[in-house]
Amino acid sequence: EDKVVQSPLSLVVHEGDTVTLNCSYEVTNFRSLLWYKQEKKAPTFLFMLTSSGIEKKSGRLSSILDKKELFSILNITATQTGDSAVYLCAVAGGTSYGKLTFGQGTILTVHP
């Protein structure tokens, strides 16, 4: 059974802090790892990672995958209150690319 575990489950920081969110996984026939941000309703796509050691970056957010150790991290630098959200990690395995296994999510709260 595929499994994705995120840590920490919740995190409270102040604006300007840097945070690191963790995601470890066990999946058969790994295809990709995806990060999503969920503020209120629909999760929005952040990154898709398929290769080890290659950092994906978008503004203050960056992510990297380690396929040997089976984990990924999502870094957010200089956090803002708008970064407050649930961050979801998901893994695609098997034969259906869209059939994702999700972690529990990390609730990030950024105080002014």
User: Can you give the binding site for another protein, defined by CB under 8 A?
Assistant: 4, 6, 9, 32, 34, 41-45, 48, 88, 90, 92, 96-105
| Least Å from the CB of residue 78 to another protein | 26
| Furthest-apart CA atoms within the chain: distance in Å | 44
How far, CA to CA in Å, does 79 sit from each of 13, 22, 27? 8, 17, 31
| Least Å from the CB of residue 24 to another protein | 14
Nearer of residues 53 and 98 to another protein, judged by Cβ: 98
Instruction: Please report, for the chain, how many H helices and E strands are present, in that order.
Output: 0, 11
Q: Which residues contact 69 (CB under 8 A, 6 or more apart)?
A: none
Nearer of residues 49 and 76 to another protein, judged by Cβ: 49
| Least Å from the CB of residue 48 to another protein | 5
